[in-house]
Amino acid sequence: MYIRELHQRTARRFGSVLTAAVLAAVPITVCGPAIAQPPPPTVPPFVTPVTDTCPQRTQPPPAIDASEVPEPGDPAPTPLAVPDPPIGGKRLGECGVVLPSGAPAVPPDISATAWMVSDLDTGAVLAAKDPHGRYRPASTIKVLLATVALRTLDLDKIVVGTQADADVEGTRVGIGPGGRYTNRQLLHGLVMASGNDAAHAIAAQLGGDEAAIAKMNDLAKSLHAYDTRAATPSGLDGPGMSTSAYDLSLLFREAMSIPLFAQMIGTEQLDFPGYPPNPAIPGDQDHPGFPIANDNGLLYNYPGALGGKTGYTDDARQTFVAAAERDGRRLSVTLLQADVLPIRPWEQAARLLDYGFGLGPEAKVGDIPGDESESGSAAPGLAAPPGEGDIAYSAQPAADSAYDELWMLLMVAGLILVPVLLVGTWHIRTRRH
């Protein structure tokens, strides 16, 4: 599977459009008078994909290449089971646009086939389109890998880069053989620059690709993200790879409960270590450190943006998850199988965030992680903003504990006071006699 470089595609597309415009505007002469050109064909307006018939209820659309063909001897993964009732509430089983009663129409320029807007703190789902439809996550699955790593690895441990790290396919942050990196730096390269080389190095710390994938899938299952199956640590397409707009929102909310993750996705620029000369390359010189920048356009252009994660493969198309804060309210947005038309993914996310912030706090169509009777588990703690501790303590257990202690003290006092009163009463009666 080949990853297309977006800037090259954009340049080629711009060149084609410019050439067509010039040819349409300039009459052609062939040794004589100008030959009139036929009018250019009418370009139909962009149409958002329709999902009302639930085409992706069980699995993503067919791959356009051989990236998901199982290795020789490996069976093809079977589709994941579809929960009934749907996780998050009955309305989230709908496949078209799902809106609260009386809500205005969503923005018209959204190319994402599936999307969802939810409250990052309460878990309320405000609006969605095909929320449980199954699509490929691309690099947004790195949110799940980062969550596993942040809760498993020693972040200050030094990891030595390998040639295998440097040779991975797709986007790379710039790990070189012999370079020395902390797991913390690797995670920055993973979520800020979407480094597949960083994903490879992190997976190695988790026991290798297969072990890392197993840990990712175990976590997804424990969170009731039943539309999700990781096939690679990085998000490169592989057999059975799947997620949904609902699951991606759930996984992002879980990651945002880790303050360091929230800090990392909100970092605009960071210095990344270099690596020494490669002895296998004659005349190779030292490779000094360099700055890496966050690849999330929303972070730089949307007031209140908290950060997020981008993704792209030929099969997944554009994918995106991010969050923003306005007037003390934090919303997240996910996009799956989007395109750069009619506007870029981060701009589509901005439109949906504006839409979500425009809805009242009572508006919702479902919940993350869903009702206990549907998901079988209690809701997790609220996502912690950057700077707060990892553990959120509920006020209710503390109150119950204080109540229990007071009750115990009253019981002990009663046991002491009753005999004293009885003895006192006996003395009084004795004196009267």
CA distance 299 to 302: 6
Spatial CB neighbours of 356, under 8 Å, sequence gap ≥ 6: 117, 126, 127, 331, 333
Q: Helix H segments across 175-231?
A: 183-192, 196-205, 209-222
CA distance 115 to 103: 16
CA distance 367 to 126: 9
Among 67, 111, 118, 139, the active-site one is: 139
Q: How far is CA 158 from CA 153, 154, 180, 182, 194, in A?
A: 11, 9, 6, 4, 20
Instruction: Tokens 């009386």: give the residue.
Output: 102
Among 142, 215, 309, 364, the active-site one is: 142
Specify whether 234 is catalytic: no
Q: How far is CA 39 from CA 156, 214, 423, in A?
A: 64, 57, 113
Among 67, 111, 194, 257, the active-site one is: 194
Q: Is the peptide bond before 342 cis (omega within 30 degrees of 0)?
A: yes
Side-chain-side CA neighbours of residue 183 (13 Å): 20
Specify whether 157 is catalytic: no
Specify whether 194 is catalytic: yes
Cite the active site residues. 139, 142, 194
